[in-house]
Amino acid sequence: MPATDIAVIGFAQTPSVRDDARSEVQLLVPTVAEAIEMSGVDRREIGFTCAGSCDYLTGGPFAFVQNLEAAGAWPPIAESHVEADGAWALYEAWVRLQEGDIDTALVFGSGKSSPANPLELWPQQLDPYYLAPLGVDPASLAGIQARALLESGKATERDFAEVVARSRRAARSNPNAQLKGDVDADALLAEPYFSSPLRRHDLPPITDGAAAVVLARGDKARQLCSRPAWIRGLDHRVDPHQPGMRDLTTAPSATLAARKAGYDGGPVDVAELCAVFSPQEIILREAIGLPEATEINPSGGPLAGNPVMAAGLIRIIEAAARIIDGSANRAVAHATGGQLLQQNLVCLLEGE
Amino acid sequence: MCSDSGVTELRTSETKLEFPYTRTVGPIVGAFLTGLRDGKLLGTRNRDGRVLFPAVEYDPETGEALTETVEVGPEGTVDGWTWVAHPTPKHPLDRPFAFALIRPDGADTAMVHAVDAGDEATMSTGMRVAPRFRQEAKGIVTDLEAWEPVR
* Pair A35, A72: CB distance under 8 Å: no
User: At residue B17, does pLDDT exceed 90?
Assistant: no
The torsion of the CA quartet B2, B7, B9, B12, rounded to 10 degrees, works out to -100
Residue B5 has pLDDT above 60, yes or no: no
Query: What is Dmax (Cα atoms) for chain B?
Result: 65
Residue contact B125–A151, C-beta within 8 A: yes
pLDDT of residue A1: 53
Q: Do B82 and A146 touch (CB under 8 A)?
A: yes
A309 in the same domain as A178: yes
Nearest to B125 by CA among A129, A11, A85, A151: A151
Domain that residue B80 falls in: 24-149
Q: What pLDDT is attached to residue B4?
A: 53
pLDDT over threshold 70, residue B2: no
Q: Tell me if A309 sits within 8 A of A84, measured CB to CB.
A: yes
Among B8, B82, B111, pick the best mutation site for testing chain A contact (most A Cβ within 10 A).
Answer: B82
* A186 in any annotated domain: yes
Output the average pLDDT for chain B.
92
Among B29, B66, B90, B115, pick the best mutation site for testing chain A contact (most A Cβ within 10 A). Answer: B90
Q: Which positions ≥6 away from A233 have C-beta within 8 Å?
A: A2, A4, A260, A261, A262, A263, A346, A347, A348
Q: What is the mean pLDDT of residues A9-15?
A: 98
- The answer to whether residue B1 scores a pLDDT higher than 50 is no
Task: State the residue range of the domain holding A272.
Answer: 137-204+232-350
- The reply to whether A181 and A297 lie within a common domain is yes
Inform me whether the pLDDT recorded for A26 exceeds 50.
yes
Smallest CA-to-CA distance from A168 within A186, A183, A157 is with A183
A214 and A178 assigned to the same domain: no
A92/A26 same-domain check: yes
Residues A180 and A35 in one domain: no
B7: pLDDT strictly greater than 70: no
Residues A50 and A148 in one domain: no
Contact B91 A21 (CB under 8 A): no
Residue A296 domain flag: yes
> Residue A136 in contact with residue A116, Cβ under 8 Å?
no
- A341 inside domain: yes
Per-residue pLDDT tens over the stretch A197-213:
999 999 999 999 999 99
Confidence (pLDDT) at A58: 85
Given a cut of 50, whether residue A47 has pLDDT beyond it is yes
CB contact under 8 A, B7 and A22: yes
Beta strands per DSSP E along chain A? 6-13, 48-52, 79-82, 104-112, 193-195, 198-199, 208-217, 229-238, 270-272, 295-296, 330-337, 343-350
Predicted confidence (pLDDT) at residue B3 exceeds the cutoff of 90 = no
Number of domains into which chain A is organized: 2
Q: Do A135 and B92 touch (CB under 8 A)?
A: yes
| Same domain? A186 vs A303 | yes
Which of A196, A230, A264 is the endpoint of a domain? A230
CB of B111 closer than 8 Å to CB of B100:
no
The predicted-structure confidence for B72-109, as pLDDT tens digits, reads as follows 999 999 999 999 999 999 999 999 999 999 999 999 99
* Cα four-point dihedral sign A178, A110, A57, A123: negative
Asked, as a colleague might, if the bond just before A197 is cis with ω within 30 of 0, I would say yes
Tell me how close the Cα of A171 comes to any Cα of chain B, in angstroms.
21
